[in-house]
Amino acid sequence: MGRNLALNLADHGSRVALYDPWPEAREAFAASSSAQVDSLALTASLQDFVAALARPRRIILLVKAGDAVDAQITALTHLLDAGDLIADAGNSHYRESERRGARLAAQGLQFLGVGLSGGEAGARKGPSLMVGGSPEAYALVENTLRQVAAKADGESCSALLGGDGAGHFVKMLHNGVEYAAMQLIAETYQALRAHLALEPAEIGAVFARWRQGSLDSYLTGITAEILSHEDSASGGPLVDVILDKAGQKGTGLWAAKAALELGVPAPTLLEAVSARALSMLKEEREAAEGRLAAASRPEATTDVADLEQALLASMICVYAQGFAVMAAGAREFGWDLDLGRSASVWREGSILKARLLDAIVAAYGADPALPNLLVAPALSDMLARAQDGWRRAVAALALHGTPAPALGSALAYYDSYRCGRLPADLIQAQRDFFGAHGFERIDRPGSFHGDWGGQGSNDP
């Protein structure tokens, strides 16, 4: 990714110095034709790299998140002058970016935490860039980042979103939504196979058709391509010879943990992380398949139209959950986070590129203080139209015994959010009964304790 971003920068007129601590990587780059670009200077040491930069120096790190970032920052700070900038464009945790920003500020250096989406291809052709840091630090690279970023309707998909950790926080939630969106698509694929006996290529054609409507997205598009791809060794669909175990690098888990820590319901994001963990229990699942009772209604089925509505409605709920966590994070950390702008930078260059983002940008443009995307008029209308098919699909999947944790949790989230009275009254009473925690009443303020006839416990 670092090499591709450097080439992108060079394409847009920047003079770029590069350094990689691994000699093999430097040799491979030097051997490539791209190394002949006049505006690229490949250096053999960190000292040569820093010396090749004009002041104030502007350095972009693209290294593995964690200790490697701190080690590289430490090595650089001994060579830099006050006012120089270090931007971390790896998948760092937002709290680490907050810490690094404070550390560098104390040394008179500038810092940016840059969330980058789009993978290697995006880095080369135009990524989505979510930036956190001070306006002064951003001003040093704003024009450059806006030039190399993807463009949506002529607008650069690069923006300063808040303080040092804001960029990586938004990127973290981007990845949490990405996890959930991928899980929703995978469940829909499984439903089409289990209920309609469609072959992968036929399902690929379904996804290709869905791309013509509200479900148009990068992920829908690559799903259509994947499912139409044949395996050269077996001659059958490639997807059929891929092991059903999906790993994770941690950003989805970070997003789920952030939602829990901030007290924001994001059940579908959590389900997506859990689904990947469950997929890793391959041997246990195979052993349980013949031992646990199957569904009693195997004849229950759904159809393509209902699954399309279920996927669309669930996607809306996933975005609603992700943006609710982002709003809570902004309040918690004091970031002036423009949620509409955050959605806008995902419209191109991002793994989450989707037609739905246009409606989300419009929703926040009409009401920046929107409490939840579910109540935005355009999106609530889409949910209303999709609701019947969504419910039929989820019910059929449950009756048939086809696992759909993400589709089901999205529907439960929708129903819970639209429910004016939830059974938390009973939970309050239970907590008071066994722990004397007290409860609130609907008819007067204050905290109360129930007279449980001496049955309650006063355990702390």
Active site residue 332: no
Place of tokens 């090595």: 75
Active site residue 284: no
Distance from chain centroid for Cα 48: 37
Kindly tell me the sign of the dihedral angle through the C-alpha atoms of 237, 402, 253, 329.
Answer: positive
Distance CA(131)–CA(83), nearest Å, equals: 18
Overall size of the chain counted in residues? 460
Cα radius of gyration rounded to whole Å, the chain: 25
- Amino acid occupying residue 193: R
Distance CA(410)–CA(297), nearest Å, equals: 23
User: With contact defined as beta carbons under 8 Å apart, do 20 and 26 qualify?
Assistant: yes
Contacts of 419 (CB under 8 A, 6+ apart): none
Given 27, 96, 136, 178, the catalytic residue: 178
Given 98, 171, 187, 353, the catalytic residue: 171
Distance CA(359)–CA(373), nearest Å, equals: 10
> Whose CA is closest to 90, among 110, 73, 108, 105?
73
Q: What is the DSSP string of 252-321?
A: HHHHHHHHHHHT---HHHHHHHHHHHHHT-HHHHHHHHTTSPPPS-TT----HHHHHHHHHHHHHHHHHH
Distance CA(400)–CA(106), nearest Å, equals: 60
Active-site residues: which are they? 171, 178
